């Protein structure tokens, strides 16, 4: 038996990563080369960590963030819906118990808007939205399946890592996790690449502000919001940001099963915890106002009506069922 042995190619991106370590701005072509090498697994864990660290110590400017966003999109699958608007929502995290997608997605989908929510697993917390949804249903689907499910029931809550949408993102997250870091530029690119790739043109960003969150002050929060809005404009996406209170957990529970149980109880009609409900309907309300479904100042009331009427619970059961879960599940079963 013959075995062919060849010298491994030295990735060209290593030179570009070294340049970033030295504080030199990356070009569009250099950024694309790095991300292509990330996706093709041509970079070792140590080499990828060097890129993450370099971008953390020498922050990406807005041009570099746009390059990184577009590179993440171009190196993965994309979803193209026949009609718009397509809504999406993201929380930058950092606050315990932030399970709001479990309410926001079915509320928005129940209104007739489409929201193909792809989520991450935990980065700095006890569980990401994908970890929570996995308690109720499967979360690993292809991009094509996400599109089909969204067309059928109006929304999904799936793990982005299985869709091959912005595949570089999850590789980066894996290396970030041990250090509990979420570099600003990479976080902006990560969020917006996934939204762009699923075809979203209306995006609501939740920025929790608090002493122990990723954003400590309102000033930092406003700066980050401006960056999200500017990046959205560069990508022809409309973005609105909500600076939310992050000094206490959202709701009364932390951890996938407990958070899912709490979310189901609210969908079933519970009127507490107020912090969880108010935050969820406020963000869904922003989406309704952005889309024209509701007039300015009336979106939260529309979201509350959808929640109180049971329409959100009905829609959530449809989402659970289409993702292979038990649509008859109740909070008491968790």
Q: Is the pLDDT of residue 305 over 80?
A: yes
Quickly count: other Cβ atoms within 10 Å of residue 125's Cβ.
17
Over residues 19-30, the pLDDT tens digits come to: 999 999 999 999
pLDDT band at 239 (very low <50, low <70, confident <90, very high): very high
**What pLDDT, on the 0 to 100 scale, is given for residue 121?**
76
**What pLDDT, on the 0 to 100 scale, is given for residue 124?**
59
More confident residue, 325 or 180: 325
What mean pLDDT do residues 220-249 have?
Answer: 97
Over residues 198-208, the pLDDT tens digits come to: 999 999 999 99
Distance between CA atoms of 201 and 236, rounded to whole angstroms?
A: 7
DSSP H/E element including 155: strand 155-159
Q: Which residues are registered as beta bridge partners of 245?
A: 209
Over residues 44-69, the pLDDT tens digits come to: 999 999 999 999 999 999 999 999 99
Q: What CATH number has the domain spanning 87-333?
A: 3.40.1030.10
> Token match 């030199």: residue?
24
Quickly count: other Cβ atoms within 10 Å of residue 19's Cβ.
16
**What pLDDT, on the 0 to 100 scale, is given for residue 317?**
99
**What pLDDT, on the 0 to 100 scale, is given for residue 126?**
64
Angle, helices 13-21 vs 28-39, to 10°: value is 120
Quickly count: other Cβ atoms within 10 Å of residue 84's Cβ.
13
Q: In terms of DSSP bridges, do strands 202-209 and 155-159 run parallel, antiparallel, or are they unpaired?
A: unpaired
What mean pLDDT do residues 281-305 have?
Answer: 98
Residues designated as active site? 182
**What pLDDT, on the 0 to 100 scale, is given for residue 123?**
61
For the chain, the domains span: 13-58, 87-333
Distance between CA atoms of 130 and 173, rounded to whole angstroms?
A: 14
Q: Is the pLDDT of residue 298 over 70?
A: yes
Retrieve residue 116's tokens.
């193909």
Q: Is the pLDDT of residue 125 over 70?
A: no
CB 172 within 8 A of CB 48: yes
CA distances to 12, 166, 285 from 294, rounded to whole Å, are 51, 32, 8
Distance between CA atoms of 214 and 92, rounded to whole angstroms?
A: 8
Q: Is the pLDDT of residue 127 over 90?
A: no
Count, residues in the chain: 334
Q: Is 171 helix (H, G, I), strand (E, B) or coil?
A: helix
CB 187 within 8 A of CB 193: no
What mean pLDDT do residues 112-141 have?
Answer: 88
> Token match 């206490």: residue?
248
């Amino acid at each position: 038996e013959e075995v062919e042995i060849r010298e491994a190619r030295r990735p060209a991106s290593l030179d570009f990563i070294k340049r970033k370590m030295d504080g030199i701005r990356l070009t569009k072509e250099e950024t694309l080369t790095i991300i292509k090498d990330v996706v093709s697994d041509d970079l070792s864990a140590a080499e990828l960590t060097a890129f993450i660290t370099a971008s953390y110590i020498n922050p990406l400017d807005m041009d570099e963030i746009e390059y990184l966003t577009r590179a993440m999109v171009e190196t993965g699958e994309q979803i193209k819906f026949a009609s718009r608007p397509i809504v999406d929502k993201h929380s930058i995290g950092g606050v315990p118990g932030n399970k709001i997608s479990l309410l926001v997605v079915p509320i928005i989908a129940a209104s007739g808007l489409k929201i193909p929510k792809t989520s991450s697993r935990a980065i700095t917390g006890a569980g990401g939205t994908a970890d929570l949804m996995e308690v109720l249903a499967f979360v690993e689907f292809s991009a094509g399946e996400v599109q089909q499910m969204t067309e059928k029931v109006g929304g999904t809550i799936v793990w982005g890592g299985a869709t091959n949408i912005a595949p570089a993102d999850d590789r980066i997250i894996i290396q970030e996790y041990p250090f509990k870091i979420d570099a600003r530029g990479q976080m902006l690119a990560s969020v917006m690449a996934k939204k762009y790739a699923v075809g979203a043109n209306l995006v609501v960003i939740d920025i929790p502000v608090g002493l122990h969150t990723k954003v400590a002050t309102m000033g930092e929060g406003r700066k980050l919001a401006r960056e999200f809005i500017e990046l959205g404009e560069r990508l022809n996406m409309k973005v609105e940001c909500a600076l939310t209170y992050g000094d206490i957990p959202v709701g009364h529970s932390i951890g996938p099963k407990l958070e899912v149980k709490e979310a189901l109880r609210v969908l079933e009609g519970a009127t507490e915890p107020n912090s969880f409900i108010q935050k969820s309907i406020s963000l869904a309300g922003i989406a309704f106002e952005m889309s024209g479904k509701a007039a300015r100042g009336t979106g939260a009331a529309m979201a509350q009506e959808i929640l109180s009427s049971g329409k959100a619970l009905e829609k959530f059961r449809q989402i659970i069922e289409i993702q292979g879960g038990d649509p008859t599940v109740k909070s008491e079963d968790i």
